Amino acid sequence: MTVYAGIDAGSRAIKVVLVDANGSGIVARAQTDQGIEQDRLARELFERTLGEGGIEKSDVRRVVATGYGRNAIDIADTTITEITCHAVGVRHLVPEARTIIDIGGQDSKLVRLDHNGKVRDFAMNDRCAAGTGRFLEVVAERLGVPVGDLGRMASRSRDPAAISSMCVVFAETEIIGLLACGRAGADIVAGVQNAIAARIVAMAGRSVEQPVIFTGGVARISGMETALQTALGRPVAISPEPQMTGALGAALLARRDDENMNV
Residues 67 and 193 in one domain: no
Checking if the pLDDT of 68 tops 90, the result is no
Share of the chain above pLDDT 70, in %: 96
C-alpha–C-alpha distance, residues 252 and 3, integer Å = 10
Domains of the chain: total = 2
Residues 83 and 133 in one domain: no
Contact 48, 28 (CB under 8 A): no
Residues 57 and 171 in one domain: no
pLDDT digits (tens, 9 = 90+) for 7-22: 999 888 999 999 998 8
Residues 197 and 123 in one domain: yes
| Mean pLDDT within 236-253 | 95
Contact 93, 241 (CB under 8 A): yes
Cβ within 8 Å of residue 145, ≥6 positions away: 153, 185
* Residue 243 backbone dihedrals phi, psi, to 5 degrees: -95, -10
CA-based nearest residue to 110, from 13, 119, 177: 119
Cβ within 8 Å of residue 167, ≥6 positions away: 128, 130
Checking if the pLDDT of 239 tops 80, the result is yes
CATH number, domain with residue 195: 3.30.420.40
| Mean pLDDT within 157-173 | 82
Average per-residue pLDDT in the chain? 90
C-alpha–C-alpha distance, residues 80 and 102, integer Å = 17
| Mean pLDDT within 187-198 | 91
Domain that residue 52 falls in: 3-90+243-261
Residues 20 and 113 in one domain: no
Share of the chain above pLDDT 90, in %: 63
In single-letter form, the type of residue at position 197 comes to A
Full 3-state SS string of the chain: CCEEEEEEECCCEEEEEEEECCCCCEEEEEEEECCCCHHHHHHHHHHHHHHHHCCCHHHEEEEEEECCCHHHCCCCCEECCHHHHHHHHHHHHCCCCCEEEEECCCCEEEEEECCCCCEEEEEEECCCCCCCHHHHHHHHHHHCCCHHHHHHHHHCCCCCCCCCCCCHHHHHHHHHHHHHCCCCHHHHHHHHHHHHHHHHHHHHCCCCCCCEEEECHHHHCCCHHHHHHHHHCCCCEECCCCCCHHHHHHHHHHHHHHHHHCC
| Mean pLDDT within 125-149 | 82
**Per-residue model confidence (pLDDT) at position 37:** 87
Residues 86 and 126 in one domain: no
Residues 115 and 164 in one domain: yes
Beta-carbon neighbour count of residue 155 at 10 Å? 13
pLDDT category, 126, cuts 50, 70, 90? low
pLDDT digits (tens, 9 = 90+) for 193-208: 998 998 888 888 767 8
Residues 185 and 116 in one domain: yes
Residues 214 and 252 in one domain: no
Cβ within 8 Å of residue 213, ≥6 positions away: 90, 94, 97, 99, 100, 101, 236, 237, 238, 239
Residues 61 and 42 in one domain: yes
Residues 249 and 206 in one domain: no
* Residue 184 backbone dihedrals phi, psi, to 5 degrees: -70, 145
Checking if the pLDDT of 92 tops 90, the result is yes
Residues 126 and 221 in one domain: yes
